[in-house]
Amino acid sequence: MKASYANLFIELGKYTFATVIVVTGCIASAAIASSQYKNAPESGPLQTKSVQLAIESPNMNVCPAQAKMAGWIHTNKPGKVSYMIAKKGAEVSGPYFIDAVKSVSGGGMASFSNSFQIQQATDSEYQILVANAEGKIVSDWVPLKASCKLQLAG
């Protein structure tokens, strides 16, 4: 009787080992397929999902002064993006072109930053405009303020 129980455990052990190998293989295959699907480029045209703008106004009352502008454009995939900068109640500049690179979230992201001189007092607002196949995507209006109480020759 003892020999038959021993044989039974040996046979069960063989099947358990085989089952573990098969299940591990299935899990590994699913993980590889999932990661390949996630990393596969999205089909269809490049679409803008959202845009953000930030402006750092000069922190002094002296002009000329330095201001900084930065923007982020989130897309469904990497590719070339065209955008414009609008000043509320005034002109629109651009178009500017920038490459969106693959982002951690699987889509794409383009960013830019630049510094510029403020020559005179200003209290204005700016936003980013991006044309999409479905219309335009815009950022919130962001203020740029400079008092320029003291004007330096320059």
Q: Each residue of 85-135: pLDDT tens digit? A: 999 999 899 999 999 999 988 899 999 999 999 999 999 999 999 987 677
Q: Specify the pairing of strand 122-132 against strand 150-151.
A: unpaired
Q: Domain segments of the chain: what residues?
A: 1-40, 48-151
Reported residue count of the chain is 154
Token digits of residue 28: 């590994």
Rounded Cα gap, residues 80 and 3, in angstroms: 73
CATH superfamily of 48-151: Immunoglobulins (2.60.40.10)
pLDDT confidence of residue 37? 46
pLDDT confidence of residue 131? 84
Rounded Cα gap, residues 117 and 108, in angstroms: 31
What is the model's pTM?
0.68
122-137 confidence digits (pLDDT tens): 999 999 999 876 778 9
Q: Which of 128, 127, 123, 115 is nearest to 147 (CA)?
A: 123
Residues of the chain with pLDDT > 70: what percent? 69
Q: How many CB atoms lie within 10 A of CB 40?
A: 10
pLDDT confidence of residue 14? 54
Q: What is the mean pLDDT of residues 68-93?
A: 94
Mean pLDDT of the chain: 80
Query: Does the pLDDT of residue 16 top 70, yes or no?
Result: no
Rounded Cα gap, residues 69 and 14, in angstroms: 66
